[in-house]
Amino acid sequence: MGMSDHPSLAAVVDSLSGSPLSLDAPPSWSQGRTLYGGMTAALGWAATVRELPDLPPLRSVHAAFVGPAAGRLTLAPQVLRRGKSATTIGVDVHGDAGLAARLTFFCGAARESKVTHERVAVPAAPGPDDLPAVLEQGQGPTFAANYDIRHVSGGLPYSGGDPEFLMWARMRDADGADPLVSLIALADVLPPASMPVFPELGVISSLSWSFDLDRRPDDAAAWYLCRATSESTGEGYSRQAMDLWDASGRRILAGRQTVAIFV
């Protein structure tokens, strides 16, 4: 299936074909010389669902970004273990330069439990309609054109402000997209939280990303309130925490990431 120069998420997923599943990395979803990390993980889950359609709900994801995801990509899901209620899936993503990412998806069926609580409050924030867009057309990394992003608080890149962001984000063209694939693609959309304290322009590269899902999304086009906080940075690496809430204030996802910074 052919794709336009600016394919939607659904169009990119639909282009997965063959055995092993493969596709050409779409340039409009790139970040520098590689496919955007959120998109790489989202395609890994889309490939998993394609090959293994009867999995329990997704609970947790670990992603190691090994090399550039560029050129012709192949995605090979493999069941690592299938238990009574939990299944663990591994997906290796290969590009023209070799192994690009190693993804692990942990799926688990719901169980009766006597323990239920939520201890994370949503930050106060005005709605996205009351805020200006962060990026004008053509600004930011290439993949960012697929998203509408609104700044709430925290420093902006290179501003000298605090190393954290709070922003609203949604996918611009979510027609036909699976809500969970869309969420995974969006969850890594914010710049690294250390960027406000960068003294000059600098290259960044995500090394690892893990996140846990509090609940499953039901709208691929939904707005999410996204927070990223750099907890410690040194020796060329930044370690950050990440959270996403839906528009009704329910936390959807909590994650961590290690980012290499070249400043």
pLDDT digits (tens, 9 = 90+) for 199-208: 998 889 999 9
Note whether 221 and 247 are within 8 A (CB).
no
* Residues 93/100, Cβ–Cβ less than 8 Å: yes
Which is higher by pLDDT, 183 or 5?
183
- What is the predicted pLDDT for the residue at 164? 95
Residue 156 is predicted with a pLDDT of 84
How far apart, in whole angstroms, are the C-alpha atoms of residue 224 and residue 179? 12
pLDDT at 137: 67
Mean pLDDT for 18-37 is 96
Contact in structure between 180 and 45 (CB atoms under 8 Å) = yes
Give the class (CATH, top level) of 9-109+124-262.
mainly beta
* Exposed / middle / buried, residue 40 (Cβ in 10 Å: 0-12, 13-18, 19+): buried
In the numeric block, the tokens 């690009």 are attached to: 100
119 contacts 49 by C-beta, under 8 angstroms:
no
The ranges assigned to domains in the chain are: 9-109+124-262
Cβ(70)–Cβ(25) under 8 Å?
A: yes
Q: What is the mean pLDDT of residues 43-72?
A: 97
Residue for token digits 């997923």? 13
Least confident of 71-80, 90-99, 109-118: 109-118
| pTM greater than the 0.85 cutoff | yes
User: Among residues of the chain, what percentage have pLDDT more than 70?
Assistant: 98
